Amino acid sequence: MSQSRTYQVRTYGCQMNVHDSERLSGLLEDAGYARAAEDTTADIVVFNTCAVRENADNRLYGNLGHLRPVKDANPGMQIAVGGCLAQKDRGEIVRRAPWVDVVFGTHNIGSLPTLLERARVQREAQVEIAESLEHFPSTLPSRRESAYAAWVSISVGCNNTCTFCIVPALRGKEQDRRPGDVLAEVRALVDEGVSEITLLGQNVNAYGSGFGDRQAFSKLLRACGEIEGLERVRFTSPHPRDFTDDVIEAMAETPNVMPQLHMPLQSGSSKVLKDMRRSYRQERFLGIVEKVRAAMPEAAITTDIIVGFPGETEEDFAETLHVVREARFAMAFTFQYSKRPGTPAATMDGQVPPEVVKDRYQRLVDLQDQISWEENQKLVGREVELLVAEGEGKKDGEHHRLSGRAPDNRLVHFAVGDGDRPRPGDTVTVGVTYAAPHHLVADSGIRELRRTRAGDAWAARNGAPVRADKPEVLLGMPRVGAPAEQPAAVGGCCDA
């Protein structure tokens, strides 16, 4: 195979798919492919699909249709489809789109290079769907998108039976990695310059059930706290059923575990939660929120909410609004319920009319936006330390700003002066000057810049000077008080 053959991976869906795509890229580069430059036609196009939303199929087949004339005009081009939708549809993909060369599932992503070569030699489509995991994703080669932040998968699969979710059928039963393997990967990433890791699992805090240790997750968090050079630890997504006090204690007592929690609510109605087969009720969820806030008053809590689940009444929806008001989420990812073929909810009685779902959805978004804005306004005038990010602010160039994430994961766009310019992976301390529902702005200048090994790793990857001849730390910017109130900016996968 020529070294000049190029690839492109298109990713849809959750963080687990993003993590898998990094492995797919690593596998292809290990096999001699090179990433295609932007605005060029790749020799290999890989779709890593999601099956959570109702229109996932239409989106995939629409994109495949757009690629057909491109492939016709480029002999030798190959198209591969993997991920949850491939696991579900299998040979149906090749039947509906016969120009696809390879279909592979969630359990055998390591087979992709072999399947591509086999399809090229045999000149016929290769469909290979494994029924159980062949290689834990983290054991495969990786091409990480970020030099300073990384995903670390601690488990795959899910043992829950939520009636709206098809993921367990496609990802399989939960399988946990041994703690030593997880920590070895984290240490290796830190040695490469990574300063922030996110622990991944379909139900991340159920970790340990596979080897009989109910406190394995809290122990893992504490062990991450002992790794020198690891500055930030996050995790997603926990299930309220498995959220135990030892996890809250570990979060509060481990300095590098960030004061941030993303915990899916799905509905505030205990009746709807029962219909969803979510094994907790409203009181349980709000009790966890109360305990987290008592242990970490500054914690930002975010969530997922589904509106219009079959059988949801106006009273049920009012219960969801009640929880939103009580919990005061920093942000909520809100979804209008959509049928997913193959799930129990798709055939339930009491399907809510679309116009009712749309109305409830808008009312929920309006309420959450108001709460998010009010919570963000509390930070105006305060200093925050940011991990400088890459590609987070779409208008940063226009506004002469960079962007970063605060410890609680809030997005902050900050002004950059004429002095030393921070790199992605460096940290800066800034004063917040303005709040909108979904971001903060810090236009008072950088008060402190700390150059980090993570910033060095970013510079080395991008061919920039690893260290500038400027001082390591810039101090002495004046403090800025809260400005006059400004109008709010208006803006708008269920993980567990």
Binding residues for [4Fe-4S] cluster, as ranges, are: 14, 50, 84, 158, 162, 165
Write b or e for each residue in 37-67: b if 16 or more Cβ atoms lie within 10 A of its Cβ, otherwise e: eeeeebbbbbbbbbbbbeebbeebeebbeeb
Query: Which region holds residue 308: left if phi is over 0, alpha if psi is between -120 and 50, else beta?
Result: left
Q: Is the peptide bond before 237 cis (omega within 30 degrees of 0)?
A: yes
Do residues 112 and 80 touch, judged by C-beta distance below 8 A? yes
Angle at 233 between CA 154 and CA 292, to 5 degrees: 100
Strand extents, DSSP E, 282-391 = 300-307, 331-336, 383-388
| Residue-wise DSSP of 149-212 | EEEEE-EES-----TT--HHHHH-S-EEPPHHHHHHHHHHHHHTT--EEEEE-TTGGGTTGGGT
Do residues 424 and 148 touch, judged by C-beta distance below 8 A? yes
Nearest Cα neighbor of 93 from 123, 122, 56 is 56
Tell me phi and psi for residue 301, to 5 degrees.
Answer: -110, 130
Name the token pair of 142. 């990786």
Sorted by sequence, the CB contacts under 8 Å of residue 40 that are 6+ apart come out as 6
Name the token pair of 304. 């997922």
Name the token pair of 469. 């001849």
CA distance 431 to 203: 36
Nearest Cα neighbor of 58 from 97, 19, 24, 14 is 97
Do residues 152 and 198 touch, judged by C-beta distance below 8 A? yes
Residues at the binding site are 14, 50, 84, 158, 162, 165
Residues forming a β-bridge with 37:
none
| Residue-wise DSSP of 115-141 | HHHHHHHHTS-EEE--SS-SS-GGGS-
Name the token pair of 365. 């978004």
Interaxial angle between packed helices 216-224 and 245-253, expressed in degrees from 0 to 180 and rounded to the nearest 10: 0
CA distance 257 to 239: 18
